Structure 1
């Protein structure tokens, strides 16, 4: 590859014999996938070739939009908008790097911003086009939020969007939420209502929209419910963070669950799908939690949960981690080991599965009988090399060959006439009107399938 060579000719030296050929390029258009306004794109590059056996003199390379362009270019390490008298040696090439930052507009739908780079040599002007799709958004950066987030434009969070004490935030169906690196939606002694629908789910993911980031874990932190008022998440897709939902304790005024979460997929997080810490109370129905690096669900230092028609899958985890981990004690930074009750520990009509032999892990202390550990597993599909025994485990199907549509494509719907199909217990539905439909809104039969999906 040639270095950037600006032409300086001297009358006392022999002039270079330049080729009359024209340039060629590795692409005719540099296209950026959708990017939010005010957020810079990743850097893309293309190559400029001289295929001739003599040097080519490039009289000028110009960013057509000049200094007001949404694009920035760099020619072999030198930034600018206008480069003159460049010599490209024979059978050599140059790199040009391109970035873009799109300004805000009034558009509520995606729009395209174009420009071009012009190359003038041998009496001819050639060009490489530049194009980027942009979207306007609502932006939050260490912002206190409440009220209603509408679905008119995406919502982008930097650092923190805080729902503060005794306030409430409702998120409408179809709302798209994008979080920057390390960002979280933090609900502190307040209420969160995510109100999606079967056909118009709320989506929560990282703010990098390039295809490379489509399945990259750990792009942001997640949703953090800190002593939250009674909150609900319905019909959401939460992906590519560190923790899907992190619950810390319960609010002292709550008479119902800290969180009721339904019809929701939580996937591809670098730590946990759901992290229930130190006393949170969860009701979960029609959940599909998969491909998280450590656990699909972890309860630590006490709490309670009741899960129905859900699936906790350790496919995509690092090593042979179990899908579900229950540990009711934890030694905090003050050196004290805190022990909590597991007030309710129910799994009904659910799947707990993964590639490892042990998909449920318990590590509990009873503190000489002063701490209670509740567990109830009824009519589940569970992979566990050594099945649990006792009255807390009823009608479970252990270590069956569960057949999903396609594990590699994350299609965790069991196949007809395989384990779990029409083997659920209809009497275990706590809210029959809701659980008569699966995670996608499809009607269940009178003998339901185990898991979040109803199978044809």
Structure 2
């Protein structure tokens, strides 16, 4: 469809343009769905005749078919294939006892009204390359909107959810990235491996008396990067937890908060806390935060929080914790932080105090899939120079 200076087409004529003036021409393309899985190109042209002359303006539009799901309930064990993107409208629910598997390279786009709710099990296993990572993001991909936080609600693992695994998964531009409630059983409710959680308006990870085992994860530029509250059991190994004030997020909250309580109104709920952070970076910049790691204990439940071979930015050491081999207030020297263009590379440069300062763990590769060495680097990335 074409519209020239407010007059609809397909043919528009007898338009006068005064000297040094102009007119606007708007073109909209509507592509009928097909069975094609790969992206395709639609080409056309506009003919312009003026003062006895004729010119042609070439048009080109890209499109791709998608699988659209509205208020979807996954009623049986299901596998999503990567042949075309998924667009979720109105939300999606995986009920208790049901597993959704997602193939490598699958892209999931969620509308502003579409929470991804897991009462059962989510198994999302990607691979290290950009083309084979699994991506959760909003459905607005046009310029300006594509980088805004809070474009969709987030992924919510509710109380009955168990045995979730996310590997090589990117979660970006949500209101909250991963939210998990209290779970049952002796194994971690969620395993996050080689995951990126970025640009979430509120929390990147919010865990309420739950259990998470995370390794080689980057949690970056969220309003409240990692919030572990009302106790639970957590193990973070080789994670980079960083926030930098930019055009979308103002860094005003610590990148890590660990508490044994949550307070709603006048009601205080307390739970035992066990958390271990090994070879992790906790850093913030261009904000108002002096202590990027805070802990708080209100109850009489067990409170066992340990930091081993970590690099953090704090003015006051966190309370009631065990801290071993900590590098304090030494700039990690990230490869690139470009807030003007919203481009970030949180690998560390040569000379960083994080290099070779970790302790050996069972985590043998990094976020890029590179092998760890005997004296590994602190953080999600292992240097290769």
Would you call these one fold, judging by a TM-score over 0.5? yes
Residues 26-175 of structure 1: pairs in structure 2 closer than 5 A: 72-145=1-74, 146-175=77-106
- After TM superposition, the score normalised by the length of structure 1 is 0.76
Residue 191 of structure 2 corresponds to 260
Residue 225 of structure 2 corresponds to 296
Residue 446 of structure 1 corresponds to 374
Look up the SS of the partner of 1:243 in the other structure. Answer: coil
- Whole-Å Cα distance in 2 between the matches of residues 110 and 196 of structure 1? 21
Look up the SS of the partner of 2:100 in the other structure. Answer: strand
Report the CA distance between 1:416 and its aligned residue.
2.9
Residues 275-354 of structure 1: pairs in structure 2 closer than 5 A: 275-277=206-208, 279-292=209-222, 294-316=223-245, 317-332=249-264, 335=265, 337-354=267-284
> Which of residues 173, 179, 188 in structure 1 aligns to 2:110?
179
> Which of residues 216, 232, 240 in structure 1 aligns to 2:165?
232
Report the CA distance between 1:92 and its aligned residue.
1.9
Q: Does 1:415 align with 2:329?
A: no
Residue 246 of structure 1 corresponds to 179
Residue 49 of structure 1 corresponds to none
Asked whether the 8 Å contact 2:305–2:321 carries over to 1, the reply is: no
Cα shift readout 1:285-308 (whole Å, capped 9, x = no counterpart): 11111111x111012333331101
Cα shift readout 1:83-111 (whole Å, capped 9, x = no counterpart): 33223333321112223332211211111
Residue 398 of structure 1 corresponds to 328
Q: Which runs of 5+ in 2 are unaligned?
A: none
Q: Which runs of 5+ in 1 are unaligned?
A: 1-71
Look up the SS of the partner of 1:446 in the other structure. Answer: coil
Q: Provide closer, same or farther for how the CA distance between residues 323 and 123 of structure 1 changes in structure 2, counting only shifts above 3 A.
A: same
Q: Does 1:362 align with 2:295?
A: yes
- Whole-Å Cα distance in 1 between the matches of residues 107 and 352 of structure 2? 36
Cα shift readout 1:388-435 (whole Å, capped 9, x = no counterpart): 477611221111232111122311112234211111111xx2xx2xx1
Cα RMSD (Å) = 2.0
- Whole-Å Cα distance in 2 between the matches of residues 159 and 328 of structure 1? 34
Q: Provide closer, same or farther for how the CA distance between residues 128 and 310 of structure 1 changes in structure 2, counting only shifts above 3 A.
A: same
Asked whether the 8 Å contact 2:293–2:318 carries over to 1, the reply is: no
Report the CA distance between 1:239 and its aligned residue.
1.3
- Bigger shift: residues 123-132 or 223-232: 123-132
- Whole-Å Cα distance in 2 between the matches of residues 170 and 276 of structure 1? 23
- Whole-Å Cα distance in 1 between the matches of residues 141 and 268 of structure 2? 42
* Bigger-Rg structure (1/2): 1
- Whole-Å Cα distance in 2 between the matches of residues 363 and 129 of structure 1? 62
Report the CA distance between 1:439 and its aligned residue.
1.0
- Whole-Å Cα distance in 2 between the matches of residues 79 and 337 of structure 1? 61
Asked whether the 8 Å contact 2:251–2:284 carries over to 1, the reply is: no
Q: Provide closer, same or farther for how the CA distance between residues 389 and 224 of structure 1 changes in structure 2, counting only shifts above 3 A.
A: closer
